[in-house]
Amino acid sequence: MKKKIWLLNHYATDMYKNRGGRHYWFAENLIKQGYDVTVFCANTYHNKSEYIDTKNKKYATDTVDNIPFVFVKTTTALGNGIDRVKNMGLFYFNLFSVAKEYVKLQGKPDIILASSVHPLTMVAGIQIAKKLNVPCICEVRDLWPEAIFSFNKAKERSLLGRLLTAGEHWIYKKADALIFTKEGDTDYIIEKKWDTGQGGDINLDKCYYINNGVDIGGFEISSNENKVEDDDLHADKFNVIYVGAIRPVNNVGNILDAASILKHDEDIQFLIYGDGNQKDMLDKRVAEEKLTNVKMKGFVDKRSIPYILSRSSVNILNYSQTQYNWARGNSSNKLFEYMASSKPIISTVKMGYSILNKYKCGIELEIDNPEELADAILEIKNMSKNQYNKMGQNARNGAKDFDFKKLTMKLVDVIDSVDINKEKEVSTKYKNVI
């Protein structure tokens, strides 16, 4: 009999629209292996005013590529203010009644996988799983509240900070298994002394690591089918490409500073794709500083990214070293897209559990200043053809380890582990009754 799995991810609506993303690819691959998978998400898109009409009901449904989606009614949320809090709260509260109705129609799941970004989805997953007497796997894609403390949105020792930390501890304790997307995230549990080895109540044996990744087959198809007509991409230049958000944590101004240093090298051009709250400021800088070697390309459809990356000479992972704790590794989606493009990568941050070092597919900077970045760009540009091609091939080989077909097998191992533990628990209870 097929096992039923519910994947709860507030923001999977964007994956439904884009027909791709972590839980889309997990669902797609699990279904191919015979699992019965349903994705539960909000009826709103992240940071957009558009939404999926539930026609005054608590949820709506649709199926795409054989993946059933359940859209839980909530309210639109732009920005990070009270509307976003309301959006998260309504998703949490409405999940309970939606789950109850869906069980009546489709039967209860065998396993729930509840994924952050925000912790309320994991809280709901644990509570719904308990009511249905099924295991709950919690997937932690960002360490909340540590990320909030890093951005000074709350103080760790404040009342709010202590409440958030206590809630996080509760989630880790109650989950039947924990999946972290960064290899070093279990270090956090050890730092907090929450692990059983230090007298705590969280067994590290239930912690698993499944990073983000890439659908290599889909990447190749998209690269061939979604070509971009752009003279800059096809110019006979050394293309330094950045794709991603343009906001403080991405420190894209640093790339402009490096471009300024290299502006007399006519072979090099910087192509920056993306949008964010600092884009206008950087557009102004490019004009005022006459950085003719920089082209700010703006927002780009996700389907065009594989082709754009295929035209790069080197891809830049550009971050602020100070606004985030990089010691535990990197789970950036674009890292794996960069790797799949078979091109060398420069990271402006030296990561813990470094994937670039492991696969020898790029350079990590000790210091994230423009001089170091400019030097790294020149180092890759001046490599021998063999060295350059080897680094690109290493990137591609590394991407294969993070292909979603392979990552799904890791998820199946976690599913099997909670299944076995649940059977043991039921067996123990039965013995105690006898």
In tens, the pLDDT along 51-63 reads 999 999 999 999 9
At residue 292, the pLDDT reads 97
For residues 104-114, give the mean pLDDT. 97
Has residue 433 got a pLDDT over 60? no
* Confidence class for position 429, pLDDT limits 50, 70, 90: very low
Has residue 427 got a pLDDT over 60? no
Q: Which amino acid is at 156?
A: E
Residue 232: burial class (beta carbons within 10 Å; 0-12, 13-18, 19+): middle
In percent, the amount of the chain with pLDDT more than 90 equals 82
Residue for token pair 């109850």? 100
Has residue 11 got a pLDDT over 70? yes
β partners of residue 268 = 238
* Confidence class for position 424, pLDDT limits 50, 70, 90: low
Domains defined for the chain, CATH in brackets:
4-213+404-433 (3.40.50.2000), 216-401 (3.40.50.2000)
Has residue 321 got a pLDDT over 90? no
* Confidence class for position 423, pLDDT limits 50, 70, 90: low
User: Do the Cβ atoms of 383 and 4 come closer than 8 Å?
Assistant: no
Backbone angles phi, psi at 320, to 5 degrees: -80, 135
